[in-house]
Structure 1
Amino acid sequence: MLAYMYGILTNRLSLWALLIVNALGTIYGFIWYGDQLQQTPWQFVIFVPDSPTASLFFVFVLVGFLTRKQFGLIEALAAVTLIKYGVWAVVMNTFQVFEGAPMHWTIWMLNLSHAGMAIQAVLFAPFYKIKRWHLGVALIWTVHNDVIDYFFDMHPWLSQRIMPYIDQIGWFTFFLGLISVALVYMLNVRNKAPRLNLPS
């Protein structure tokens, strides 16, 4: 059953479909951040659009799968950030609803798309060729990004309903990053068995 599922997942048609979806989602994500990016000092721009940057990493991963070229560092960055920001967005959107925000269709859309980000990162875990130093770089990246976001106030714009909790959100984001790194380690790096191979 598992082999059948992975066969469907790594079919070239499936990979192309995922590539198109992730590419379009990445473009939409950068457009979503347009207003904030216009107001962001140039030196911080790269650290602001967290989710579209994560999906952009995965676009490169999918291109690598389709061309049978894998880059462990990009896979590590994609896996960690997809899990981290996929879960983060679902939690933040749901949190603002609990704080009284209306359950608008955009929240459903954002929650479903971001949950998909995290899920696809986990599903492809057996195919990554991540080394310990790749994951170490991903750890540095995610911690540094949190420093920029919450010490320099460059985090994604949040609803005013949850801004009073910004300190707690900052700590949640930091620990979520560590958990994401640990999960990728458990799913891929610690596993000494041969990685699953992509079809030709």
Structure 2
Amino acid sequence: MNPLPERVAREYLEGTATLVLLLVLTTALTLVGFRFYVDRGLASVSTFLWPLFADSPVATALVTASFLTLLPNLGRRLEGAPSNTPLVYLHTLAFVWLVKFGLWTAVALNLGFSAYFPDLYGYWGVMLSHLGFVGLALLVPHYSHTTRGALAFALVISLVNDVVDYGFGLHPPLRYEAGPALAVATFALTFLTVGLAAVVFERADETAA
């Protein structure tokens, strides 16, 4: 039930030039994302908490790692992509993180609309680039499946991230004070994105989990 056509996924993921282009894009997004956080207090956060603080660059780093696993499969169809339990967990988490924080950014910007609009980059640039995360995420189920264990793992990690963000104030930097509405929306997005992963990915035999 993936809304992204298979032919599009094959065009981007089976060709050397297009896959490399995707890797360059996601790597650049990761670097730009971490630069954003460097300027907004990353050094003051424990290194061990960076993956739970720098949400968007972690999402693009995860999908970069996911796409890298396709390099040994170049020249072959996506069905032949490497697959094992750690990779299934990686692909599932990459999907959830991309969709969640792509949508989260749009929600956060619009909850604080007056603080961002009509800033061309601060509103439109940030929102549209993050909504593009959803398109990247939809490529992943074309070369991977998921399992109950992988979905549970993604759900637990995402909920831990939410608790850290709103229980300890480590949510992404905003131009306004994050309130209960954003916290509730974030927890809702966690369940929404994991549920979406359960629908979009094919499910493997649970013994493979």
* Structure-to-structure mapping, 1:1-200, within 5 angstroms: 2-10=5-13, 11-34=15-38, 35-68=40-73, 69-70=82-83, 71-97=87-113, 99=114, 101-106=116-121, 107-160=123-176, 163=177, 166-190=179-203
What is the DSSP-based 3-state SS (H/G/I as helix, E as strand, rest coil) of the residue aligned with 1:124? helix
Q: CA deviation at 1:42?
A: 4.1
Query: 1:41 Cα deviation (Å)?
Result: 3.6
Change (3 A) 1:3 1:156: closer
TM superposition shift of 1:190 = 4.2
- Where does residue 77 of structure 2 map in the other structure? none
Identity %: 25
RMSD: 1.9
Q: TM-score, normalized by length of structure 2?
A: 0.82
TM-score, normalized by length of structure 1? Answer: 0.85
Structure 2: gaps spanning 5 or more residues: 74-81
**1:153-200 Cα shifts (integer Å, max 9, x gaps):** 11111122xx2x5111111101101100000000114488xxxxxxxx
After TM superposition, which residue ranges in structure 1, 4 or more long, deviate above 6 angstroms?
A: none
- How far does the alpha carbon of each residue in 1:87-112 deviate from its partner, in whole angstroms, 9 at most, with x for none? 11122123322x35332122222112
Question: Which structure 1 segments of 5+ residues have no match?
Answer: 193-200
Shift of 1:5: 2.6
1:198 maps to none
| Letter aligned with residue 26 of structure 1 | T
1:43–1:3: structure 2 CA closer, same or farther, 3 Å change rule?
Answer: closer
Deviation of 1:8 after TM superposition, in Å, equals: 1.4
What is the rounded CA distance, in whole Å, between the counterparts of 2:33 and 2:166 in structure 1?
A: 21
